[in-house]
Amino acid sequence: MMRRRDAMKGLALLTLTAACGGPSSSVRVVVVWSGWELTQFRRVLAPLVKEGTRVSVQSGGNDLAALVGNRVARTAAPDVALIEQPQMVDADRSRLVPLDRVPGIPAGWADLLIRDGQSYGTWFKAAHKSLVWYRRDRLMGDPPQHWNDWVDTCRTMAARGRPPLAIGAADGWVLTDWFENTLLSIDPAIYRELAAGAELWTHEHVREALRRLGEIWAIPGVFSGGPRRALLTQFDGALVDVFQHGRAAMVAGADFDYPIIEQFGNAPAKWFRFPSLETERPPLMVGGDAAVLLNRHSRGGRDLITWLGKPEAAQIWAEAGGFLSVNPAVTGYPGDLSSLADEIQKETAGRPAFDLSDQLGGRLTGADGRGTWKIFQDFFAEVAVDRAPLERAANRASDALAAAKAASS
């Protein structure tokens, strides 16, 4: 999820220190969060600070990989990092310190951070990325249950001059999330093989997923303000379009959209699972942030990671929203968000379908899959703006993805 924080400029260094007495230990931690999310993380750290630990929190943004990969001056290197890409464990394992397994973490999640029998991270935060948020007062009829219902609803609303969808296509990761949910519906096995690095980007099921996206993106009048405006709209702007201005009825997203909706929304938010065909299993794509230790001599770093692995730490942020945990001991989510945590815990305990782009990391052009973002934005423009034939556009995008994979191998 680092990608949705790209608007962050530079590095913000925040030092938290106990108000009285000298610190018993100190730790430097780098995160991808900024703004409201960083404030919540600081709240999570407050109990450690109260006990005397001095914590310097650095918002790394796009520099996170460099900080973790030791491509900066030693004095700037953090003791702990919160990473969202399991692939970084492979890329930077020589820099990471093995950790003890944390009780309460499902085996499938723990396995994402295990290499050669050793655990290299502790999951702190999870994300449910297979949601469609909607306004009941803007939606015509009941929420769609399956893909064809969704397409029919969108066509009907668009034909009546009531744009059904908002989409933040300026953030390429929004488009890849659409694709990943659709591919996960069609062929979970191909999804996992791609995540493992297989060169299957021209597979028929990849092209089928692209055609399915094109089917809904190409509907005339489907997007508020039109597809050209969508290409200039960021993910949070799409949420504001729906829940503050009522320009559309629905927006595909994730649980971490909740605080934005709460802050800017003028209407109650509801959601349904990202639709699949009736014969398919609804997708559940997840993301998350794991704490890794980079300084084996940092007592404060070990203490911080131990704290983040406890339900009591997660509880602090969970109660504010925009946060889910894979640990069932965490409760107190606002509204109905506990049901989303239940879905993650029950449906991903064995083998979670982690965000494909976050698993690919640097395997595709660009440090964290950015090459795919541009390909999907081009595909979006081709089908939604230029109204190109779906088959041709899907094949072109599929070939471009395959070429990006080959170039990065």
pLDDT in tens, 241-298: 999 999 999 999 999 999 999 998 888 899 999 999 999 999 999 999 999 999 999 9
Burial class (CB in 10 A: 0-12, 13-18, 19+), 108: middle
Asked whether the beta carbons of 55 and 48 are under 8 A apart, the reply is yes
Give the CATH H-level superfamily of domain 2-128+286-354. Periplasmic binding protein-like II (3.40.190.10)
The listed CATH number (3.40.190.10, 3.30.1360.170, 1.10.1740.10, 3.40.50.720) that belongs to domain 131-282+364-408: 3.40.190.10
Whether residue 242 contacts residue 249, with contact meaning beta carbons closer than 8 Å, is answered with yes
DSSP assigned state of 17: -
Which among 164, 90, 96 is positioned nearest to 132, based on CA atoms?
A: 164
Strand-pairing partners, residue 16, are: 55
CB 178 within 8 A of CB 252: yes
For residue 168 the two structure tokens come to: 């933040």
Interstrand relation of 114-115 and 118-119 (parallel, antiparallel or unpaired): antiparallel
Task: Reduce the DSSP state of residue 206 to 3 states and report it.
Answer: helix
Q: Which residues make up the CATH 3.40.190.10 domain(s) of the chain?
A: 2-128+286-354, 131-282+364-408
pLDDT band at 87 (very low <50, low <70, confident <90, very high): confident
For residue range 19-78, what is the model confidence (pLDDT) as tens digits? 333 445 889 999 989 889 999 999 999 999 998 889 999 887 656 666 676 655 555 679
Please give the angle made by the CA atoms of 253, 400 and 2, to the nearest 5 degrees.
Answer: 35
What pLDDT, on a 0 to 100 scale, did the predictor assign at position 369? 46
Tell me the three state secondary structure of residue 188: helix
pLDDT digit string (tens) for 199-247? 999 999 999 999 999 999 999 999 999 999 999 999 999 999 999 999 9
Cβ–Cβ < 8 Å for 350, 108: yes
193 pLDDT band, cuts 50/70/90, is very high
Q: What does pTM read for this prediction?
A: 0.91
